[in-house]
Structure 1
Amino acid sequence: MRNLYFKLLPITAAAIACAAGSSVASADEVVKIGHVAPLTGGIAHLGKDNENGARLAIEEINKKGLVINGQKVTLELDPQDDAADPRQATQVAQKLVDDKVVGVVGHLNSGTTIPASKIYSDAGIVQISPSATNPTYTQQGFKTAYRVVATDAQQGPALATYASSTLKAKSVAIVDDASAYGQGLADEFEKKAKALGIKVLSHDATNDKAVDFRAILTKIKAERPDVIMYGGMDATGGPFAKQARQLAIKSRILAGDGVCTEKLSDLAGDATDNVVCSQAGMALEKMPGGDAFSKRYQARFGQPIQIYAPFTYDAVYIIVDAMKRANSTDKAKILAAMPATDFKGVLGETQFDSKGDVKKPVISLYDYKGGKKMLLDSVSM
């Protein structure tokens, strides 16, 4: 028995080694793509919406199967919460670098996207924001920074032009939430409004955690502006519009994409009927793949799209498209393939200019009827 044992041992060990080697050879390479948005706080519903879009893309790609350079690849979403806080944003950005992600979809807010972008740039990791609209993001000279939405340099003027040409506004009161997004959008609106001959009666600042706007609104009521422009998110824009209605302010309220969500009616009640807002991208109903995407999204998550889920969805596919063209999962080679992007997805065709901005930006304008968001117009910039 002892001799038989020693004769069998090498065969058994070899068989085990062979089997182990076969298992390793057939194992998929796991490639991580990061996503960052506020998953806690007042705009967590927007952050989760963005994350859902990215998650759906990764699930679909994995189901179809992905092969890069002859190797089967499984994508893994690495989701992080920046709580819409710039300091936390840089911390989670560094965590994603340490996690060795090959690309990042995010962040949601301009105020978090911009400080985090330096960390991704230093690490050589492509970053595609689906919703940060402050022009500064892509003006820093970082080769890693991209976005799939228009900027406030286009969104602000579109709102001001609508105020002048359609609403025939001659005067405006402006309020912003003092964030990189809210203030940036309000400033771009103000520049265009003045150029169009609209008189700016006042420009006040609040903050992105405010809940009581009655003091500012009481002052604005006395100014009697034709329109009020609010730069901020729906978590504050909703109460702002609601309190304006309670104070019997008749002025139409203009706002940007941060306010222009499906949840606004929950936050503002019937005051939504006095709101006109913009989205820094094509309307869902106008997107080539919008209807089909909406059905898949609702089937998967059991809720309607808030606003930017289609943009995070396409952003994941754009990173994978660069991966395919580079025939590599190396972050440097993926980054090198990004400038030549010509991707056709839910949003339509996406190409980038030399700064990382989309070549054919679109601004969509909405109002609300009975609390339901309704498309007014789409403007190619």
Structure 2
Amino acid sequence: MPHKSFNKGVLAFAVASAMSLSSFAYADVVIGVAGPMTGGNAAFGEQLWRGAEQAVADINAAGGINGEKIKLVKADDACEPKQAVAVANRLVDSDKAVAVVGHFCSSSTMPASEVYDEAGIISITPASTNPQVTERGLTGEFRMCGRDDQQGVVAGDYIVDTLKAKKVAVIHDKDTYGQGLADATKMELNKRGVKEVLYEGLTRGEKDFNALVTKIRSTGAEVVYFGGLHAEAGPLVRQMREQGVTAKFVSGDGIVTDEFVGTAGGAQYAKGVLMTFGADPRQIPDGKAVIEKFRANGYEPEGYTLYSYASIQTIAAAFAGAKSTEGAKASAWLKANPVSTVMGKKEFDAKGDLKVSDYVMYEWDDAGKYKQL
């Protein structure tokens, strides 16, 4: 009898110890960062990773979240929907992530967010602008950026009011983001009385757009609006200029990387290109110290870098405020409370969208840099 009791005691101790060790092993708050870490849009993946990495370093140095340190896990979706689903499942099942910053492309964010929602974890996309990202009733899906139906209005109004264009060619890349943004801009143009002279799609990954440029030239377009990413926008604008098409080139936040200049063949081709993007976060006083830290390390926090940093801050605030890493609790807290970030105070509505969108127009200059107009 004593012998059996001893065995039970040992067994109970062993189980308790194992549970304790297990809890200790997973004490870190694991957050995934998902986006195109390789491929033609890897520049954006780097922006997401750099922003998240610096935010985690700063938050951990200040004590972490509820006394626990954050551990980042990188997930490469290459802006491919099937790959996005695969890495989402890996983040949930293998990495035990309790939150995700990502994805970048709307076509990746939408299927991946279904995985996160089923797992009950919170996710914040710094960059996916398609309205359907937050229109599907998912509990824990948020975005740190605006929506295409907001961005398209700004672009359409600028084309009509400032550029005074009557002939506009609308081109898109057939992707969830690119076509969605092009359609939102076209809708605003039509609403303002401008009917597009051409509406056509190209294929992501292509580089030879000369046949399309010939078609654009035949329409006499004064403005070419492109919904898509820099990998296609660059060659398109270069080939337009090489064929003597002088129409103003306007695009969206998918070209907000210095790599746009390289894909265009140099600053001489990028010069004068217009794009919509949120008000430059590098000009917001709240982020001054962080921006200086990035620059001191030789990195310019362009594009979505600070959006990613702010996304990590938002997740940390939600977990701290809810006193839990449970997605439902963190989500409820976030929809009821403002968050202070490097991009200023952010508030979210019941869908997970920002209550305030701040899209403005930018122009690329002859030095290959974009500046807010």
Scaled by the length of structure 1, what TM-score is found? Answer: 0.88
Checking the alignment, whether the CA contact within 8 Å between 1:173 and 1:225 is kept in structure 2 is yes
Q: State the alpha-carbon separation in 2 of the partners of residues 148 and 139 from structure 1.
A: 15
Aligned ranges 1:1-381 → 2 under 5 Å: 29-66=27-64, 68=66, 72-98=67-93, 99-268=95-264, 269=266, 270-279=268-277, 281-300=278-297, 302-370=298-366, 371-376=368-373
Q: Equivalent residue of 2:364, what SS?
A: strand
| Aligned mates of 1:372, 1:60 — CA distance in 2 | 28
Q: How many residues align?
A: 352
Cα distance in 1 between the residues matched to 2:232 and 2:286: 31
Which residue identity lines up with residue 147 of structure 1 in the other structure? R
Q: Higher strand fraction: Structure 1 or Structure 2?
A: 1
Letter of the structure 2 residue corresponding to residue 148 of structure 1: M
After TM superposition, give the deviation of residue 213 of structure 1 in Å: 0.8
In structure 1, what residue type is equivalent to 2:310?
D
Compute the displacement of 1:64 (Å). Answer: 1.3
Q: 1:265-295: per-residue Cα shift (whole Å, max 9, x none)?
A: 222221111311011x221243233443322
Alignment partners' CA distance in 2, 1:360 and 1:329: 26
> What does the per-residue CA deviation read over 1:76-111, in whole Å, with 9 as the maximum and x for residues that have no partner?
001100010000000101111112211111001111
Deviation digits for residues 304-324 of structure 1 (CA, Å, limit 9, x no counterpart) = 223001011011111110111
Unaligned runs of 5+ in 2: 1-13
- Give the TM-score normalised by structure 2: 0.90
- Code of the residue aligned with 2:370 in structure 1: it is K
Q: 1:186 to 1:76 in 2, by over 3 A?
A: same
The letter of the residue matching 1:197 is G
Distance 1:118 1:67 in 2: 26
- The superposition leaves residues 125-158 of structure 1 with CA deviations (integer Å, 9 ceiling, x where unpaired) of 1110000000011000111110011100010111
Residue ranges of structure 1 left out of the alignment (5+ in a row) = 1-16, 377-381
C-alpha RMSD of the superposition: 2.0
Q: Give the secondary structure class of the aligned counterpart of 1:258.
A: helix
Does structure 1 retain, via aligned residues, the 8 Å contact 2:279–2:372?
Answer: no
Matching residue's letter, 1:90: V
State the structure with more CA Rg: 1
| 1:25-54 C-alpha deviation (Å, 9 max, x unpaired) | 999921101110101101101111111101
